[in-house]
């Protein structure tokens, strides 16, 4: 089972609804009722999200940056932060907008190390000992977020908070991040999409039913559909 998401208040719930409706209206959500999507971390899912489409919608992306800043401030995710680190490649644009709004330096974290020596995955001016907030567009199985956090630590930077627009909220990811002392803050999850899809009639009946079945037991759904089936939560299970 996944560990609990950070608690929400009424404002968080309102924003989750708005973000979910925006993701649906901009074509970011896909549903397959035949062949499942296979995530890089090995999990299988009937739904897929492409948050990178949001860069083409200026008004929505400005709103999302505002929501991100409000959420991070409310949860003290920016306390003591000296820079914003974007995850390559989908988190770079979002991190740049957030860094600009905060008037903070920015780095980005490569998916793989380039060159020799420690810390070579983090690009930009690095001042060891400083704290950064990591930004990406989404978290699904958690492998990318874990890798980024490990690379940041190798560069002798500190990271305790991560912001993503969307968190699958389905797989045993947060347990691993908890052991690393990292908290992920998101604006919406698949549960929010389910509610918004019902409200907006965005899915066909069969698609809605498939999403409901998946969310009832994501690990079992993945197992039955040929994906990862282990609920192990050790870091090596995500890398």
User: 114: annotated binding-site residue?
Assistant: yes
User: 230: annotated binding-site residue?
Assistant: no
User: 217: annotated binding-site residue?
Assistant: no
User: 111: annotated binding-site residue?
Assistant: yes
Residue partners of 194: CB distance under 8 A and separation at least 6: 208, 211, 212, 215
User: 198: annotated binding-site residue?
Assistant: no
- Of 145, 134, 147, 4, nearest in space to 68 by CA: 134
User: 110: annotated binding-site residue?
Assistant: yes
Q: Cβ-count burial of 155 within 10 angstroms (0-12 exposed, 13-18 middle, 19+ buried)? A: buried
Cα 142 to its chain centre, rounded Å, is: 8
Cα end-to-end distance, the chain, whole Å: 19
User: 161: annotated binding-site residue?
Assistant: no
User: 202: annotated binding-site residue?
Assistant: no
User: 142: annotated binding-site residue?
Assistant: yes
Task: Quote the CA–CA distance of 119 and 99 in Å, as a whole number.
Answer: 21
How wide is the angle at C-alpha 166 spanned by C-alphas 169 and 157, nearest 5°? Answer: 95
User: 27: annotated binding-site residue?
Assistant: no
89 prior amide bond cis, ω within 30: yes
Phi first, then psi: what are they for 47, rounded to 5°?
A: -125, 150
Helix (H) or strand (E) holding 189: none
User: 143: annotated binding-site residue?
Assistant: yes
Binding residues, as ranges, are: 110-111, 114, 136-144
Binding-site residues for 5-phospho-alpha-D-ribose 1-diphosphate, in ranges, read: 110-111, 114, 136-144
Binding residues for orotate: 140
């Amino acid at each position: 089972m996944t560990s609990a998401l950070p608690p929400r208040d009424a404002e968080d719930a309102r924003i989750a609804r708005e973000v979910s409706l925006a993701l649906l209206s901009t074509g970011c959500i896909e549903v397959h009722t035949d062949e499942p999507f296979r995530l890089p971390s090995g999990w299988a899912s009937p739904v897929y999200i492409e948050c990178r489409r949001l860069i083409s919608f200026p008004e929505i992306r400005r709103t999302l940056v505002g929501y991100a800043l409000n959420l991070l401030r409310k949860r003290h995710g920016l306390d003591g932060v000296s820079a914003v680190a974007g995850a390559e490649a989908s988190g770079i644009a979002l991190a740049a907008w957030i860094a600009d709004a905060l008037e903070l330096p920015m780095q980005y974290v490569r998916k793989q190390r380039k060159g020799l020596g420690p810390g070579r995955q983090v690009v930009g001016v690095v001042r060891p000992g400083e704290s950064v907030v990591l930004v990406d567009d989404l978290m699904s199985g958690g492998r990318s977020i874990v890798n980024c956090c490990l690379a940041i630590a190798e560069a002798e930077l500190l990271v305790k908070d991560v912001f993503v627009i969307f968190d699958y909220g389905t797989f045993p990811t947060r347990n691993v991040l908890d052991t690393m002392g990292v908290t992920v803050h998101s604006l919406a999850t698949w549960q929010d999409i389910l509610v918004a899809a019902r409200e907006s009639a965005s899915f066909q009946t069969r698609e809605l039913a498939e999403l409901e079945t998946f969310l009832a037991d994501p690990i079992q759904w993945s197992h039955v559909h040929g994906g990862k089936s282990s609920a192990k939560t050790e870091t090596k299970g995500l890398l």
